[in-house]
Amino acid sequence: MQLKNVTYSALLAAGIGLLAAPANAYSLRDTAHGESLFQTFNSLVNSERLQLTDSEVALQELDVESLTWAGGVSPVEVFFINEGAGHRNQLLYTVNDGEQQMIFDDIASTESGLAETQEKIDAKRKELNFYIEEKEALEDSVTAYVEMLEARVVALEAMESRSWGDNRNIDRAKAKIDAANQADFDAAQVLADTTKQVSWRQSDFDRETALGNNGVGAMKLGDGANLGTFDGYTAFDFLIKSNGARNANGNIYGVDAEQNADGLQHVIAYEYFDEVKEESWIVLGFEDLYGAHYDEGGHSDRDFNDVVVAIKGVVGTKVDAEEVPEPASALGLLAVSGLMGLSRRRTR
pLDDT of residue 168: 77
Q: Quick check: 346 pLDDT over 60? A: no
pLDDT of residue 2: 30
Average pLDDT over residues 30-37: 96
Percent of the chain beyond pLDDT 70? 79
- φ, ψ at 272 (rounded to 5°): -125, 135
What is the phi-psi region of residue 223: left when phi exceeds 0, alpha when psi lies from -120 to 50, beta otherwise?
beta
User: Please, what is the angle between helix 187-209 and helix 118-140, to 10°?
Assistant: 150
Q: Quick check: 267 pLDDT over 60? A: yes
Q: What is the mean pLDDT of the chain?
A: 82
pLDDT of residue 234: 96
pLDDT of residue 25: 65
Which residue has better confidence, 270 or 5?
A: 270
Residue 311 pLDDT grade (very low, low, confident, very high; cuts 50, 70, 90): very high
pLDDT of residue 53: 52
Average pLDDT over residues 22-35: 82
Residue 85: closest CA among 258, 253, 274, 330: 253
pLDDT of residue 111: 94
pLDDT of residue 46: 65
DSSP string, 183-231: TT--HHHHHHHHHHHHHHHHHHHHHHHTSTBTTB-BB-TTEEEEEE-BS
Give bridge partners of residue 79 from the DSSP assignment.
224, 310
Which residue has better confidence, 330 or 324?
A: 324
pLDDT of residue 85: 87
Domain ranges of the chain: 8-116+217-340, 118-209
**What are the tens digits of pLDDT across the range 232-254?**
999 999 999 999 999 999 999 99
Distances 75 to 279, 285, 343 between C-alpha atoms, Å:
12, 21, 28
pLDDT of residue 11: 35
pLDDT of residue 15: 36
Q: Quick check: 261 pLDDT over 50? A: yes
Which residue has better confidence, 75 or 156?
A: 75
Residues 6+ apart with CB under 8 A from 32: none
Give the residue ranges of DSSP H helices in the chain: 8-13, 32-42, 118-140, 142-158, 162-165, 167-180, 187-209, 333-340
Average pLDDT over residues 119-137: 93
How many angstroms separate the CA atoms of 18 and 116, rounded? Answer: 35
pLDDT of residue 161: 52
51-60, 211-220, 262-271, range with the lowest pLDDT: 51-60
pLDDT of residue 323: 55
Residue 3 pLDDT grade (very low, low, confident, very high; cuts 50, 70, 90): very low
DSSP string, 59-94: -EEE-GGG-EE--TTPPEEEEEEE---SS-EEEEEE
pLDDT of residue 322: 55
Q: Quick check: 285 pLDDT over 90? A: yes
Which residue has better confidence, 257 or 74?
A: 257
Average pLDDT over residues 263-282: 94
